[in-house]
């Protein structure tokens, strides 16, 4: 009954709107923008007005579906729609699905919209290459000749290496048996091994060269360590000792040797009196998914490209957290501290997550953590020992759910840290997040942080709690 009542209320509301509102262009466009009406509610007379329809498409390009064959055959209207959302090509007329200009714009916006193009254009190299650049999934919809063309696939890989996932059967595709290709790909990411054929993974020469190119290949489940030569076995032993010395809980958070070197250089060979500012990343061992790994690597690259030396740590307790900061600041004051960990407004969780019981802990707000597993509102005393380790214009970025919830009046981790480190600027999220975006000025200083909320697709400044240093407040 509640559902029926709601539907009747919605219908009545629309009837009231249509009788009470002025049916002029401006009021209709405003109502569409605000979600008060849908395209289906537009009076027929207005559907004949091209300028009005262009406004409708600008608001919602997928509304092309409901605008009838006349507009679906109009090149200007369809061009506007696919420029905004390539998938609107689905609702274009069959003639426009053969139009190279329209299809090119569609796949440039969303590669997978190649699915809706006429078959004649799925055989067009220029169209398919543009689609694959945008989204490797597009290869699924291309003519079979492209999937079997080694030359074309090599060209695609230059733009989007993930294309190899769609390059035919793993055991039959010559591309997935290509030793030289994979050695190039592994320089960037050991995860590409998942696309290699079983024949290649059993090739002794390939296994040894792969380890030399990227030692993180040892974390790939099917990697045959036993095939390593005696020299590489010694190198493997040295590498594993280094990982142990660094205290990494989950070393496979790195998939790129170059990024690993950037993140650990300062810890392996500490430097004094260097003009470069120092950034420190304190991370957990938790690996939720590939996105979690990608973004931590992104942090390392981002800080490095803005002139910072990076010192990266993985910790599983609040004591390790404090000790890592002390270790990082042994020769130089800290300019940026990025704290990554799961949690709520009153805690940051450091324990080694990854099992079902750990995930239960994470989602259960009533779970009682051991004191050492978390940094919470009672740990202010522990932070007193790191008070003098930050530079004059230092910044702390907290990447942990709701660490700034409630803002200035909230009982949150950001306020607790500010109380103990009042001269450091702090950025923290006001709600649950999945990642953050750092913003730098021309001198490389962090000026703002926008957070990407869980379940939403937009970085917005109003989701950030920013605490200015006490020295600047005076």
Nearest residue to 56 (alpha-carbon basis) of 68, 44, 47: 47
Contact 321, 379 (CB under 8 A): no
Contact 369, 361 (CB under 8 A): yes
Q: Does pLDDT of 321 surpass 60? A: yes
**All domains of the chain in start order, with CATH:** 17-150 (no CATH), 178-239 (no CATH), 254-473 (3.40.50)
| Ramachandran region, residue 24 (left: φ > 0; alpha: ψ -120 to 50; beta: rest) | beta
pLDDT per residue as tens digits for the range 131-154: 988 888 898 899 888 877 878 888
Give burial (CB, 10 Å; 0-12/13-18/19+) of 369.
middle
Which residues, other chains included, contact 239 with Cβ-Cβ below 8 Å and sequence gap of 6+? 215, 218
For residue 157, give both structure tokens.
């890989």
Residues 448 and 428: their CA atoms lie apart, in Å, by 10
pLDDT per residue as tens digits for the range 282-302: 998 777 666 667 778 889 999
Mean pLDDT of 232-242: 94
For residue 223, give both structure tokens.
């990697």
For residue 266, give both structure tokens.
């300062």
Of residues 141 and 456, more confidence is placed in 141
- CA 264 to chain CA mean position, Å: 22
Mean pLDDT of 56-64: 82
For 125-185, list the strands marked E by DSSP. Answer: none
Contact 429, 464 (CB under 8 A): yes
Between the two ends of the chain, the Cα-to-Cα distance in Å is 61
Helices (H), 86-149: 100-109, 125-134, 144-147
| CA 285 to each of CA 146, 252, 336, 358, 384: distance values in angstroms, whole numbers, following the listed order | 41, 10, 21, 12, 25
For residue 311, give both structure tokens.
């010192």
Of residues 274 and 158, more confidence is placed in 158
Q: 23-47 burial, b if ≥16 CB within 10 A, otherwise e? A: eeeeebbebbeeeebebeebeeebb
Q: Does pLDDT of 459 surpass 80? A: no
pLDDT per residue as tens digits for the range 179-226: 888 898 888 888 888 888 888 999 999 999 999 999 999 988 888 999
Cα-Cα-Cα-Cα dihedral sign, residues 267, 270, 276, 280: positive
Nearest residue to 431 (alpha-carbon basis) of 465, 389, 392, 384: 465
Question: What is the chain's mean pLDDT, rounded?
Answer: 83
């Amino acid at each position: 009954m509640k559902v029926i009542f709601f539907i009747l209320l919605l219908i009545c509301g629309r009837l009231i709107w249509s009788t009470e509102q002025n049916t002029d262009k401006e009021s209709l466009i405003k109502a569409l923008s605000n979600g008060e009406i849908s395209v289906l509610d537009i009076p027929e007379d207005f559907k004949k007005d091209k300028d009005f329809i262009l406004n409708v498409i600008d608001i919602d390009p997928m509304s092309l579906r409901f605008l009838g064959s006349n507009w679906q055959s109009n090149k200007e209207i369809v061009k506007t729609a696919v420029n905004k959302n390539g998938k609107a090509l689905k609702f274009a007329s069959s003639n426009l699905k053969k139009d190279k200009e329209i299809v090119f714009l569609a796949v440039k916006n969303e590669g997978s919209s190649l699915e809706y193009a006429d078959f004649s254009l799925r055989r067009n190299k220029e169209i398919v290459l543009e689609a694959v650049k945008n989204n490797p999934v597009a290869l699924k919809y291309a003519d079979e000749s492209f999937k079997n063309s080694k030359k074309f696939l090599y060209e695609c890989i230059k733009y989007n290496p993930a294309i190899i996932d769609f390059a035919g059967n793993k055991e039959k595709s010559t591309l997935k048996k290509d030793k030289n290709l994979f050695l190039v790909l592994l320089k960037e990411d050991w995860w590409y091994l998942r696309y290699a054929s079983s024949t290649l993974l059993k090739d002794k020469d390939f296994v040894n060269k792969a380890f030399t190119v990227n030692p993180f290949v040892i974390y790939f489940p099917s990697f045959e360590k036993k095939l390593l030569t005696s020299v590489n076995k010694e190198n493997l032993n040295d590498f594993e000792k280094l990982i142990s010395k660094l205290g990494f809980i989950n070393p496979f958070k790195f998939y790129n040797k170059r990024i690993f070197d950037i993140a650990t250089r300062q810890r392996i060979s500490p430097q004094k009196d260097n003009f470069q500012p120092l950034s420190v990343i304190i991370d957990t061992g938790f690996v939720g998914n590939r996105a979690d790994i990608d973004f931590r690597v992104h942090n390392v690259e981002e800080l490095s490209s803005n002139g910072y030396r990076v010192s990266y740590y993985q910790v599983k307790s609040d004591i390790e957290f404090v000790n890592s900061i002390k270790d990082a600041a042994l020769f130089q004051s800290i300019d940026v501290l990025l704290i990554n960990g799961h949690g709520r407004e009153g805690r940051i969780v450091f324990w080694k997550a990854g099992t079902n019981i750990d995930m239960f802990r994470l989602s259960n707000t009533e779970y009682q953590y051991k004191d050492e597993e978390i940094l919470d509102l009672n740990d202010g005393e522990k932070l007193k020992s790191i008070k003098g380790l930050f530079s004059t214009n230092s910044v702390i970025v907290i990447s942990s759910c709701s660490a700034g919830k409630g803002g200035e009046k909230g009982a949150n981790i950001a306020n607790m840290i500010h109380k103990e480190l009042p001269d450091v600027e702090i950025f923290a999220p006001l709600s649950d997040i999945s990642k953050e975006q750092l913003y730098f000025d021309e001198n490389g200083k962090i000026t703002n942080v926008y957070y990407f909320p869980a379940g939403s697709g937009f970085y917005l400044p109003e989701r950030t709690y920013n605490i200015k240093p006490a020295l600047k407040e005076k």
